[in-house]
Amino acid sequence: MRINLNSFTSSLAFGSSLLLGAACTPDSAPAETGAASETAGTAETAETAGETGEDQEPPPLEGYADLHLHMFAEDAFGGGWLHGSATGTAELALALCDGGDPGDHARLQDDLAPLFMNCDDATLQDAASQVPLLQAVLTLGGLGISEIVGEVPGSKGDTGLHEDRTGGWPELEGWPRWDTIAHQQSWEGWLHDAYDSGLRIEVVSAVTLDWLCRALPPGNVDRPQCDEMDDVRVQLQKANEFAAANDWVEIALSAADARRIIEEDKLALVLSIEASHIFGEGDWRAQFDEVYDLGVRTLQIVHQLDNRFGGAAPHNSIFHLAQFEESCHLDSDCGITTQALTLGFDVDENCRNVNGLTAEGEALLREMIARDMLIDTAHMSEALTRDVYELAVEHDYYPLYLSHAHFREIMLPAKGREEKTTPSWIVGMVRETGGMVGLRTAHEEVNTYEPSAVTNTCHGSSRSFAQAYDYGRLGLKVSIGLGSDFNGFIQQTRPRFGPDACSASFTEEAQCQARDERLEGFGAVGSDYDDLGLGHVGLLGDLIDDLDQHGVDVEPLRHSANDFVRMWERASGERSGPAEEVDDMELSGITVLPSHFERRAALPTECDEPYCPGALVAGEACRFDAECESGSCAGAGDCDGPEGVCD
C-alpha cells in the first residue's frame, strides 16, 4: 500500500496532549513527607469554609494559576523519552543530549508490530489495509515514525535524529522552544522564574500511558514493566521531595491550605493525576487512598483511552492506535482516523464516543466529592461529561473544571471537529457549577474573534491565543487560568519574531505576517520568548506581558489563582443551587478564516509561484528580487535556476 506521507505527517503532528508517564518498582511506595503533611486537613478546611461563606467575603488573592503541568515527566514512559531533569543544578539537569545518535531518548523501537499482539492477524491486516496510519506504523518502524512524530507545520521537530537540538546549559542551542516535545521544559529554575512573574497556583500532574512506554526501545527504558501506577508514584514522590526542599513552594492539601500558602507569598502546588489506566485493574480504593496520602487533591478519571471509569474523547490519531490495540475494534459508523473509519473507539454517527460514566467511575467520583477533591473533566467524552455534570448537580452543583482546554467555536474546522475540544454547552456546565477553565497555551491557527482588541495577524502566536482568551472571557464569560501542559508532548505558543514567527498556517503567509510584525507590530518582550516562543514554564509571565501590551485585559488572568481557590472553597463549603446563571453567553463575533487555498491564491506570483513581497531580510535564501526587503536577490537564476541570497 502506498502511504501519503504528507497527510500521515499531519496526522502525527501532536497538537494535543499525548503526555508522559514513568514507572517504579512496586515496593517503592514512598512514605508521607513533610511537604504533604496533613497540618491543614479536612477539619481546618471545614472550619475555614464556614468563615469564608457569603456573609464574609475573603480578600482576593494575587497571582495567576496554571492548571496543568507535567513537571517530572523525565520519568515518562519508563524514563526513556524526555531529556533533562526537573530538579538539580542547570549544568546537570539541562546537560547536552545525544541528538538521537545513538538515541537514548526521543525515539521509538524499530519494530512496533508487537504493540498490537492483542488483535488477531486477520483483524490487524484488515484494519491496516483500510487505515494508512496503521499500515505505516507496522511497516516504517520506530526510526521512521520517530523522525516525523514531532513535526508540525513550521517545525522540524526534536524527535528521532535531532542533531541541531543537542546544546546543553547555558547555550541550550535548539531547546527549549515552542515546538519542544522531547526535552525538559519544567526545570525548577524556570518554575521559580514563573513564580517571580506572579505564578501562585501550579497544578502538577503525574502522567503516563503504558502503551507509549512499550513503544520505546527496551534499552532506553529504566522501568520496563510500564505500569502506569508505578509511574504515578514516582512522580508524586518527586513532587513531595521538591516541595520539602524549597521554602518558596508548598503542596496544598485543602482550599484553606492553598489560600494560606498564597497569602504567605509562596507557590501552592496542587497534585493531580492524568493516566489512561488510572488505578490499573486492582482494588482502586486502596490505590486511591495511597495517592491521596501522597497529596493528590484533583485528578482526571480518563485520559487518552477508555478505561474502567468512563469514555475518553478521541482526538489525535496516534491514540486511536492505542485504543485499537486494546479493543481491536474498527468502527464504520463515523470516520475520525480516516474519512470513513475510526480505529479503536466505539463512536456514533456524529463521531462521538458512545461510552459515558461506568458504575466504578460513579463510585470514584462520589469518593472524590466526599473528600472535597476537585474534578477535572479534561479528556472526557461528551457522554461522560454529561454524566459527570448530572452527578455534580445532584451534589448541589459541585464544581467541575477543565485543566487544559480549547474552545471549540474559535478553532478551525479540522481542530473543532475533535471531541476533545470544549463546546460552549460544556463551558456552561463549568460555569453553573462554579468551575473554571485552564486555556491551553497552544500553537494553532484560529478563527478571528472580532470583539478582541488584538488583530489575528500572526498565526499560532500570542495574537492567536488572544482570540481564544477574549472569546472565553467576553463571550463565554468563564473564569480562565492558563493550561500550559508543559512536558505534555505538545507544542506551545509560537513566537512573533525570528524564523518561526507566525508559522501556524503556510509559508508565504507566515512570511508576510512576520514582515508586518517586524515593521508594524508591537515590540519585543525582551526575553527568549520573543524568538523561541513559549519554550518553558519560566516564560509564562512573558506571554501574559505580551498579551498586556497588545491591549488584552489580563487582570482576570493575573488573579486566576483566586478563582481556583474560590472554586475549591465551593467544593469544600456550603452550596445551594447553581453558582451562576449561564444564559448570558454570547457566541457571535467569530469570523471564520478563508481556506489556505483561497488565501494563497490572493498572493502575487512570479515564475508561477506565490510569494510575499519584501518579506525576506538580508542573508535569507530567496528565489527572486521581489521577495527581499532590499529588492535584490543576489545570485538567483531564472525561474528554473538556483536560489540566491537577499542583499
- Residue pLDDT, tens place only, 567-603: 999 999 999 999 999 999 999 999 999 999 999 999 9
Tell me the one-letter amino acid at 429.
Answer: M
* pLDDT at 57 (0 to 100): 82
User: pLDDT (tens digit, 9 = 90+) per residue, 454-484?
Assistant: 999 999 999 999 999 999 999 999 999 999 9
* pLDDT at 143 (0 to 100): 76
Q: Is the pLDDT assigned to residue 14 strictly greater than 80?
A: no
Looking at 171-175, 182-186, 340-344, 439-443, which range is the least confident one?
171-175
Q: Is the pLDDT assigned to residue 32 strictly greater than 50?
A: no
The DSSP element (H or E) to which 143 belongs, if any, is helix 132-149
Q: How confident is the model at residue 23 (pLDDT cuts 50, 70, 90)?
A: very low
Q: Is the pLDDT assigned to residue 27 strictly greater than 60?
A: no
CB distance 1 to 135 below 8 Å? yes
* pLDDT at 240 (0 to 100): 98
Sign of CA dihedral 462, 300, 333, 319: positive
Q: How confident is the model at residue 72 (pLDDT cuts 50, 70, 90)?
A: very high
Q: How confident is the model at residue 78 (pLDDT cuts 50, 70, 90)?
A: confident
Q: Is the pLDDT assigned to residue 353 strictly greater than 50?
A: yes
CA distance 180 to 486: 9
User: pLDDT (tens digit, 9 = 90+) per residue, 92-142?
Assistant: 999 999 998 888 999 999 999 999 999 999 999 999 999 999 999 999 878
Q: Is the pLDDT assigned to residue 20 strictly greater than 50?
A: no
* pLDDT at 453 (0 to 100): 96
* pLDDT at 11 (0 to 100): 39
* pLDDT at 50 (0 to 100): 41
Q: How confident is the model at residue 55 (pLDDT cuts 50, 70, 90)?
A: low
Q: Which of 472, 482, 391 is nearest to 433 (CA)?
A: 391
Q: Is the pLDDT assigned to residue 638 strictly greater than 50?
A: yes
Distance of alpha carbon 448 from the chain centroid: 22
User: pLDDT (tens digit, 9 = 90+) per residue, 238-287?
Assistant: 999 999 999 999 999 999 999 999 999 999 999 999 999 999 988 999 99
* pLDDT at 185 (0 to 100): 98
Tell me the average pLDDT of the chain: 91
* pLDDT at 102 (0 to 100): 87
Q: What percent of the chain has pLDDT over 90?
A: 84
Q: Is the pLDDT assigned to residue 6 strictly greater than 60?
A: no
pTM: 0.91
Q: Is the pLDDT assigned to residue 235 strictly greater than 90?
A: yes
* pLDDT at 290 (0 to 100): 98
Q: How confident is the model at residue 521 (pLDDT cuts 50, 70, 90)?
A: confident
Residue of higher predicted confidence among 223 and 432: 432
Average pLDDT of the residues in 327-344: 97
User: pLDDT (tens digit, 9 = 90+) per residue, 383-436?
Assistant: 999 999 999 999 999 999 999 999 999 999 999 999 999 999 999 999 999 999
Long-range CB pairs of 219-222, under 8 A, 24+ apart, other chains included: 220/79, 220/80, 220/103, 220/104, 220/105, 220/107, 221/77, 221/78, 221/79, 221/80, 222/23, 222/78, 222/79, 222/80
